[in-house]
Amino acid sequence: MHPASAPCDAPAAGPGPLPVIQYDDLDTPGDVVDSLLLADFVTGRHRWARTVRLAKLRPGAELVPDRAELVRTAIERNRAVRLATGDGWTLRVVNWRGRGAEVTVTAVDGEVGGAVLKEIVSGGAEPVESGTEPIGFWHNSPRRGAQRDSRRIAAPGWSTIRSNYAASARTELGGLMALTPAAVTGRLVLMHGPPGTGKTTALRALAHQWRSWCQVDCVLDPEELFADPAYLSEVAVGEQEHGGDGPERRWRLLILEDCDELIRGEARQAAGQALSRLLNLTDGLLGQGRHVLVAISTNEDLSRLHPAVVRPGRCLARIEVGRLSYGEATGWLGNAAGVPPDGATLADLYALRAGTPVVPPATVPVGGYL
């Protein structure tokens, strides 16, 4: 019971009978609002529909124009759903507690509906914060399938954080940050190293550096992504935040964090077809014709990763993000107080700056549990 999330124009159709809805198909009052929204679209009285998600709202934003007639309001445990109508259009607004809103408009044509939607979004969306970039977050909903929510997150420029990385990683990351579409040779970006070394921060900076040509999405459930072919196909096709399928279609970077089990050496036995599908997305048939890059961050040592993941030609970049040396760490901190002789992670340095002592990592004996 949900219109498409992109503009949809259908051939003209005369008014038809209203759809028959069984009461046992409706679980909540919000479902009733959904069915009423679709009535004009199903019968053809409205030939256009579009849905937009708003991650953050202006304080006090109502999202319903003053000239609209409020038809239904459903207050549920974690959301409020409202249905309103105007001249040639119908509006459904869903407000989730603390999680933004979803706005759906159906209309007699795209001009009418687009104008209403633009008015609502421009008046309700929170102003763009400087130093942030839009990042999409994919998850698979049991009820609605693949869903993408866009949020703006802090994305530092590379020049402001480059000193957070050891010399070798800094050089490799700098080359990756400066990459252009013409220089793309592989489709897999692999960042590996201990926790707290700044891998996620580097990926946020990458979103900023590539903002002119690449849309960045993060997959929240990577294990499910590669276990469910329908979900994977939807994500591979993608949802463009700007532009369409024309010659100017932007690249997309899919970020997969903490999916160590997927790419370990024993992954094929443990994860079945998941690893094969990952590889198919990067350089197989699934990835053909799609400007898709995949970035994987892992805490695993490179030697423990599956050979198929790290083979030459597959990786656009393979970067070890490790601890800063003693000299680099003391230079970053401005003094040597508390810095271990073998250096420190970025997380250690921030802890030391805050006055928290650093606990040296435990030494694992040879032959012990890894």
**Sequence ranges of the domains in the chain:** 23-127, 134-140+148-320
Q: Is the distance from CB of 301 to CB of 262 less than 8 angstroms? A: no
Q: What is the CATH architecture of 23-127?
A: 2-Layer Sandwich (3.30)
pLDDT at 247 over 60: no
Q: Is CATH 3.40.50.300 the right assignment for the domain spanning 134-140+148-320? A: yes
Q: What local confidence, expressed as pLDDT, does residue 34 receive?
A: 82
Provide the Cα torsion 126, 128, 131, 134; round to 10°.
Answer: 90
Name the nearest CA neighbour of 116 among 55, 163, 159, 52: 52
Q: What local confidence, expressed as pLDDT, does residue 131 receive?
A: 82
Q: What local confidence, expressed as pLDDT, does residue 56 receive?
A: 76
Q: 3-state class of 23 per DSSP?
A: helix
Q: What local confidence, expressed as pLDDT, does residue 126 receive?
A: 63
Most confident of 128-137, 145-154, 216-225: 216-225
Q: What is the chain's mean pLDDT, rounded?
A: 82
Q: Is the distance from CB of 239 to CB of 135 less than 8 angstroms? A: no
Residue labelled with tokens 């970049």: 317
pLDDT at 29 over 90: no
pLDDT band at 366 (very low <50, low <70, confident <90, very high): very low
- Burial label for 11, CB within 10 Å (0-12, 13-18, 19+), is exposed
Could you tell me the CA-to-CA distances from 192 to 200, 229, 319 in Å, in that order? 11, 27, 6
pLDDT at 364 over 60: no
Residues 79-106 have a mean pLDDT of: 89
Per-residue model confidence as pLDDT tens digits over 198-229: 999 999 999 999 999 999 999 999 888 888 88
